[in-house]
Structure 1
Amino acid sequence: MNLYSSIRWIISSLALFLVVSCGQLVAQTVSLKQAVLLVSPSISSPMRETAPRVLSEEIEKRTGVLLKTTPNWPKSGSTRIAFVLAGDKELQGVAVPVNAATERPELKPEGYRIVSETTATGTTLWIIGADSRGILFGTGWVLRNLKMDRKLLELPGPVNLATAPAYPIRGHQLGYRHTANSYDAWTVAQFEQYIRDLAIFGTNAVEGIPFHEDEKPSPHFKIPAAEMRIKISEICKAYDMDYWVWTPATIELTDAKKRQAELDQHEAFYRACPRLDHIFFPGGDPGDNHPKEVMPFLKDLHTLLMKYHPKAKVWLSLQGFNVEQVNYFYDYLAQNKPDWLQGLVYGPGSPPLAETRYRLPKQYQLRQYPDITHTVRCEFPVEHWDQAFALTLGREASNPRPYFYARAQAAAAPFTDGFVSYSDGCHDDINKVLWSMRGWDPEMSVHQILNEYSRFFFGWPLTESVASGIEALEKNWDGPLAQNGGIEATFSFWKTLEIANPTLATNWRWQLLLLRAYYDTYTRRRLLYEQGLEAKADVILTQEASSDLDKAMSQALTIINKADTEPVAPELKAKIVSLCADLFSSIGLQTSMKQYKARGYERGCVLDFVDYPLNNRWWLADEFEKVKTLKTKEEKQKRLQEISAWEMPGKGSYYDDVSSVSKGPRVKTISDDATDIAWWKDGFSRTRLSSQTFQRSPVLDYDNLDPNAEYIIRVVGFGEALLRVDGKRLSPLVYNREADTVKEWIVPMSATQDGHINVTFDEPEESHLNWRQNSRISDIWLLKK
């Protein structure tokens, strides 16, 4: 034995066998391969069975080791995992470790303490819960922190920690309905596994959708919706998790017959549920009833609810209520002080959060309903998202956004008692975990959360690497796609991980992350290639249009259509297709309408849009057909010149694609309501790409203008454009309101004398219109005459 080996042996021996003055042995790690499970009889059923089963099953999946429960304290030298309540003094004659600290989180609701204790008789890992949920969440902590593989089962130690949640409500909506992009394809076993996974990461509530879409069954349903919602209730009962249900009224509550039918439907559901804790009634989205009808209806619901679930609560959101209706609600609270109402739910379309908490009497709780599932046209759109992603990945792609949602949650959570998120599929899995963990501990670092996620779902050797890879995927969506060279580095990173870990190929969470890495890279390569083709086509139009117009258009189309005839990176496309097939097989993710029978193109159909044009070849082909109908050669030449010079108006002139992060350098505003990425013709619009991004009232700054030059502002859009230059409203020279038509203004030379102008637009009063009918501005030129 050499000197180095001797030193290592001595250190190891000391770590394992050194006896300290208190009589305990010091162990740096807790090996659990030979452990047995002991359960305190004071833990109520079903958690007495659920927690040991969860621990044993999850360990066996990863290690092949089956830990068994024993009724008696084992002999000396053994390793034990003991489940006890904080009120227990001892377990089978062995004293439960006492926390001498002043603060004892394990005594607070859902809190727990984890202690590793090594004595001469062996090692005990204590899971000490304040209540049955504390036992479950303590078990989750152990599973998230274990090192597990076929040769290893150990917990870094020694361990002595205690914690309790910051917010009492931490849940997620899992609607078994065709609208969801994956849940509707799940079996009961898949729901139980997913609910278990969420519980391991601190979730204490699940929200179902019992009635809203029963009339539209999914082709993917494994069992009828009415049966599944009862099964989910049973799962929640077994895991001691709150079961919420989202129950809008899309009928007119003034119709007595329909109202009674709605009440009867609710009562039948309440009667059938083994567990039901909360009824959430959205005031709007959907629904269109005045609160003077809603409040008596909810009171009647509560009366029925109490017959079957005496501790259950009723909640309301003010989504969609106008000012008069909101005021009516608060007046109702002041006058009636209903004790049957538990609180309000704040979601998209609700009055401002701070205002809601201020106006809501203290005896009522406030729950957030955050949309963590969508990326565009939603509550939390991806800021400065490149249009290429918006048009291909759409609303429901694999969307890990941990750092963004950590900020969003931190801004809102202090006003609330917690959250139950809106989710339409498993694609937002990381976001769910982030919200649950930060709902438990708002100070927990995002990287630590990702470490625990990666360790549990992908194995402890990948803890840091996968966490970093997830962070890189979030950065992929940061700013102009063409300029984000980090996407290629991220792809290389994930490709290396993929090759090195073939056993994860069937893991659906792994498949989701790989899909994003491949899709992001494929989209960027397509963008660079296809926009390069368009630039070449524009050159052809400029050079040839003065002679043979038909030849110019034909050559331009041939070049730009190479995106289809000679596509870039076909190997990446093939892998994306393969991963989409794998995800449908593993988790029922429906990435295509035709192939996987998704509910709609907005519902996660990334495969259907994987080759959506990232240049204007569709629009160009349609415009050329229009050019051919023009009467004179001069008209045709003029239009072709406008097309070829669209984004390059010439020296001293400027062009901005208003909502493009890469082509709108002078635009100072972003849309905060996610309506700046159009959704026309189910996402297959043939219009110019720039017209599919827009704002209602953009702000632009222009510098380094020629004080001796005359300028014209040209705008393409729809509806009104109430333009101001340096705060002064200008009268238009040309003013067309039809879609994709032109408006023009002459800029007074007095405004440009200092070489700078500020351009703004007054927002027209169009609150009565759907956003699709609102005025919009897509392209702006400042043209030097």
Structure 2
Amino acid sequence: MKNYVPIWLLAVFIWGLVSCSTRENQTLDLSKAVILVSPQIAGSMQETVSTILVEEIEKRSTIPLELGNGWESDTRIALALATDTVLFRKTVPSRAGSDAPEQQDEGYRIFHEFDEAGNTLWVIGADTRGILYGIGKLLRTADLSEGKVALSRNIDFSESPQYALRGHQFGYRNTANSWDAWTVEQFDQHFREQVLFGANSFENIPFQEVGSSPHFKVNPQQMELELSRICEKYDADYWVWTPAPRDLSAPGAPQEGLQKQEDFYARVPRLNAVFVPGGDPGDNHPSELIPYLEDLSAVLHQYHPDAGIWVSLQGFNEEKVRYFFDYLQTNNPDWLAGVVNGPSSPPVALERELLPEKYLHRFYPDITHTVRCHYPVENWDQAYALTLGREPCNPQPEMYTRLFNRDSPHTDGFITYSDGTHDDVNKAVWSQLGWDPGKDPETIVREYTRFFFGAELAEKAALGIFALEDNWDGPILENPDIEKTLALWKKLEAENPELAGNWRWQQLLMRAHYDGYIKKRLAFEKKLETEAYAILAKADSIGADQAIEQALQRLQKVETEPVSQDLKEKVFAYGEMLFQSVGAQTSVEKYGASGAERGAILDFIDYPLNNRWWLEDEFEKVRSLGSEAKKLARLDFIQTYEYPGEGSFYDNISSADAKHVTSKTDDAIDFLWENNGINRKRLSTQLFQFTPTLSYDELDPNSDYLIRVSGYGEALLRANGQRLTPTKYEKGYEEFKEFPLPKELISDGKLEISFDKPDEEHLNWRQQSRVTDVWVIKQ
């Protein structure tokens, strides 16, 4: 019998050959390209641009491309300025008109040209920065792998940035959770990578004491100079954040500040801007601050004539804001370059409206923190806030794209606030949105993963980053994606062992395992607490002391029978890797983090996720009560705290799973931070809002209700718009206010609760009244 090849199989084979051939025809092979560099690129930048291109390609492909000075090779990568007419006697492609992106400041064009001499990939920049950004786009989109350097044929892409200022703060100081351990070489590479993603400015925090960080490998005064030199190398602006002396009215304080600044100005080779925050820190009145800034400008211009003085109005009250803008309108000073809008500044849109047009407006967004900050994580489960805390690895491309496009249009650009490597994805997102606010975050993240993890892994790793952001959306126990995210990253880890030493890879893997561990712990500890309450419900029959003992034994299973220790061990392993690779300080004791809030996520990985600590303290109080009746009454109150009975309702005000709360906090100060994070209060007491709103539609209009409120300070409660009179009004933590609810207000079974804000603007937010728990109790 003859062996026939099925027609369908032959068709598939032919299609495959055609497909491969088509892909090859669409791909430009640059593995043997010669790099040509315009002689018109000024000074050392000629070497910088060629070095970046050669080194970054070789890192990813192991192919060392060579430099040339002619057109002998049939494949070239040509780096030219838009003002060049010829490059080594060959015409440089140009487009008519002056509106082409490569003719705008920092703009570039990547263009594939094929002619009788072969293939040329042109990178044409409006200036040297434009060439750098064109190289960045090439490296972020090329197919670079072992023995391969390729790009799509017929590419013709160009862009120029929408925002003139695009940068990040890198304060070489102890409070940074990683880069205070860096060498000059590490900063050089990192600044290079930031430039390749579109940044053009870096801000340092000088004047650090020599022994202020145990991790310093370089004298901080020397690093101040080195960072300036690195900025000069990559043609990036060098900014410094330098608060004024706290009290400028003190004798000699302005002179002391001016002398300190002058010594610094005289030493650094490049300095483009000096930012003096008006607050955080600093609480000087603008009548004192403005003369100091004017004198500072005169000193600055002696050494750096083109540098500018910038100031923020952070922490300014209405009178200070009015004084400042009245001064600008009246005096129109030329010594001021612009105003910086940061956390606790006036609203960004209002500030831009008040600022005279001649002054620039810089944004100072906090992309590094998760709670008690400028941009808190939205709808974040308390279990994450208690454990991951304020500075975990926090890739949030979707959230920051939305916030960027909400706030940045009121500014001329940004230098973000950052205190570590944990927000690395966010930096790339902000830098790229500074070029094109309409850019899809998926495209940005894919370019990020392609550049740092390789072309073949780009898509999967990008999905993994978005999955990590999804892990943080809403109540943990209702989020099925957390296990899927962990499984995805475990698979990526197993399939890509060559990335084990990559610090960006390490911190993403650490987050996936940490999130998975927290979900396992939360489910387990919630279950233990529920079982403990069930035991307390039997106290009438088994006795108060016996009920306490049994409940404690149940709660302590978290230590005697801990869950998912394999995940915990992996998290600690990544902590060690990150300390070795990038100096990440994920523990105060183990790795020398400067404080519990500064990325020390290992120190809180086993923080109680139920009310175990509070219950232990309450049980001690119950044991000291004089009679069994009192003990039983208190135990009954404890076990029914969140379960007020059928037809009644309870809400932990800022919990992600609160059922009736309709308000959201606009800042993550709703997580009470005490005693370096070791807080033994009820979990609900650690979450609050100042003026929450709640909505109910299931009340019985024929029943009497009592509204109970816990919190701190005042609680000016309204029910369906009517202010209620309390019958009990205690103001301390875990004390209660009680308001009888008139039946006529709920004739339709619906209830809206709101709170008037007391006049407490003179108080720090930590002393202001807040609400933590609300009950609507059917009588």
TM-score normalised to the size of structure 1? 0.96
- Going from structure 1 to structure 2, the CA distance change for 1:129 and 1:327 (only over 3 Å counts) comes to same
The structure 1 residue matched to 2:756, chosen from 758, 762, 779, is: 762
| C-alpha separation in 2, matches of 1:546 and 1:9 | 81
Is the Cα contact below 8 Å between 2:245 and 2:254 reproduced in 1? no
The structure 1 residue matched to 2:238, chosen from 230, 235, 243, is: 243
Return the offset for 1:215: 7.2
TM alignment of 1:80-479, pairs within 5 A: 80-99=76-95, 103-211=99-207, 213-214=208-209, 217-479=212-474
- Going from structure 1 to structure 2, the CA distance change for 1:14 and 1:766 (only over 3 Å counts) comes to closer
Deviates more, 1:600-609 or 1:153-162: 153-162
| C-alpha separation in 2, matches of 1:116 and 1:616 | 64
| C-alpha separation in 1, matches of 2:721 and 2:180 | 53
Unaligned ranges ≥5, structure 2: none
The structure 2 residue matched to 1:64, chosen from 62, 65, 70, is: 62
TM alignment of 1:598-747, pairs within 5 A: 598-662=593-657, 664-747=658-741
Deviates more, 1:754-763 or 1:343-352: 754-763
Return the offset for 1:528: 0.7
Is the Cα contact below 8 Å between 2:202 and 2:238 reproduced in 1? yes
Is the Cα contact below 8 Å between 1:147 and 1:153 reproduced in 2? yes
Return the offset for 1:99: 2.6
- Going from structure 1 to structure 2, the CA distance change for 1:638 and 1:10 (only over 3 Å counts) comes to closer
Is the Cα contact below 8 Å between 1:46 and 1:239 reproduced in 2? no
- Number of paired residues? 771
| C-alpha separation in 2, matches of 1:304 and 1:704 | 68
Return the offset for 1:311: 1.0
Return the offset for 1:252: 1.8
Return the offset for 1:78: 2.7
Unaligned ranges ≥5, structure 1: 17-26
| C-alpha separation in 2, matches of 1:768 and 1:15 | 68
What letter corresponds to residue 548 of structure 1 in structure 2? G
Return the offset for 1:344: 0.6
Corresponding residue number in structure 2 for 1:558: 553
Give SS of 1:611's match. coil
Is the Cα contact below 8 Å between 2:245 and 2:253 reproduced in 1? no
Residue 501 in structure 1 maps to residue 496 in structure 2? yes
What letter corresponds to residue 556 of structure 1 in structure 2? A
Corresponding residue number in structure 2 for 1:22: none
Give SS of 2:602's match. coil
Is the Cα contact below 8 Å between 1:85 and 1:128 reproduced in 2? yes
Give SS of 1:455's match. helix
Give SS of 2:504's match. helix
CA offsets 1:178-215 (integer angstroms, 9 cap, x no match)? 0111111111111111101100100000000012x437
Corresponding residue number in structure 1 for 2:533: 538
Give SS of 2:281's match. coil
| C-alpha separation in 2, matches of 1:545 and 1:238 | 77
Give SS of 1:679's match. coil
| C-alpha separation in 2, matches of 1:698 and 1:14 | 61
Is the Cα contact below 8 Å between 1:143 and 1:456 reproduced in 2? yes
Return the offset for 1:122: 2.1
Corresponding residue number in structure 2 for 1:29: 27
- Going from structure 1 to structure 2, the CA distance change for 1:697 and 1:215 (only over 3 Å counts) comes to farther
- Going from structure 1 to structure 2, the CA distance change for 1:694 and 1:188 (only over 3 Å counts) comes to same
The structure 2 residue matched to 1:516, chosen from 486, 506, 511, is: 511
Corresponding residue number in structure 2 for 1:547: 542
| C-alpha separation in 1, matches of 2:610 and 2:142 | 49
Return the offset for 1:484: 0.3
Residue 528 in structure 1 maps to residue 526 in structure 2? no
| C-alpha separation in 2, matches of 1:192 and 1:646 | 56
Is the Cα contact below 8 Å between 2:62 and 2:146 reproduced in 1? yes
What letter corresponds to residue 104 of structure 1 in structure 2? A
- Going from structure 1 to structure 2, the CA distance change for 1:4 and 1:716 (only over 3 Å counts) comes to closer
Is the Cα contact below 8 Å between 2:685 and 2:733 reproduced in 1? no
Give SS of 1:608's match. helix
RMSD of aligned residue pairs (Cα, Å): 1.7
| C-alpha separation in 1, matches of 2:542 and 2:752 | 41
Return the offset for 1:386: 0.6
Corresponding residue number in structure 2 for 1:23: none
Is the Cα contact below 8 Å between 1:250 and 1:286 reproduced in 2? no
Is the Cα contact below 8 Å between 2:142 and 2:150 reproduced in 1? yes
| C-alpha separation in 2, matches of 1:356 and 1:258 | 29
CA offsets 1:247-278 (integer angstroms, 9 cap, x no match)? 11133222342211211111111111111001
Give SS of 2:676's match. helix
Give SS of 1:482's match. helix
Q: Percent identity?
A: 50
| C-alpha separation in 2, matches of 1:86 and 1:498 | 44
Give SS of 1:69's match. strand
Is the Cα contact below 8 Å between 2:31 and 2:147 reproduced in 1? no
| C-alpha separation in 2, matches of 1:658 and 1:139 | 50
Corresponding residue number in structure 2 for 1:21: none
Corresponding residue number in structure 2 for 1:784: 778
| C-alpha separation in 1, matches of 2:410 and 2:244 | 27
Return the offset for 1:120: 2.5
| C-alpha separation in 1, matches of 2:720 and 2:21 | 78
| C-alpha separation in 1, matches of 2:710 and 2:685 | 8
Is the Cα contact below 8 Å between 1:384 and 1:661 reproduced in 2? yes
What letter corresponds to residue 185 of structure 2 in structure 1? A
What letter corresponds to residue 250 of structure 2 in structure 1? D
Give SS of 2:476's match. coil
The structure 2 residue matched to 1:39, chosen from 31, 34, 37, is: 37
Is the Cα contact below 8 Å between 1:545 and 1:640 reproduced in 2? no
Return the offset for 1:10: 7.0
Give SS of 1:649's match. coil
| C-alpha separation in 1, matches of 2:709 and 2:19 | 75
Is the Cα contact below 8 Å between 1:208 and 1:244 reproduced in 2? yes
Return the offset for 1:13: 7.0
What letter corresponds to residue 67 of structure 1 in structure 2? L
Is the Cα contact below 8 Å between 1:181 and 1:589 reproduced in 2? yes
CA offsets 1:452-473 (integer angstroms, 9 cap, x no match)? 0010000000111111111111
Deviates more, 1:343-352 or 1:718-727: 718-727
- Going from structure 1 to structure 2, the CA distance change for 1:565 and 1:6 (only over 3 Å counts) comes to closer
| C-alpha separation in 1, matches of 2:311 and 2:337 | 9
| C-alpha separation in 2, matches of 1:714 and 1:547 | 31
Return the offset for 1:717: 1.5
What letter corresponds to residue 168 of structure 1 in structure 2? A
CA offsets 1:417-474 (integer angstroms, 9 cap, x no match)? 0000000101000100000000001111110001100100000001111111111111
Return the offset for 1:38: 1.2
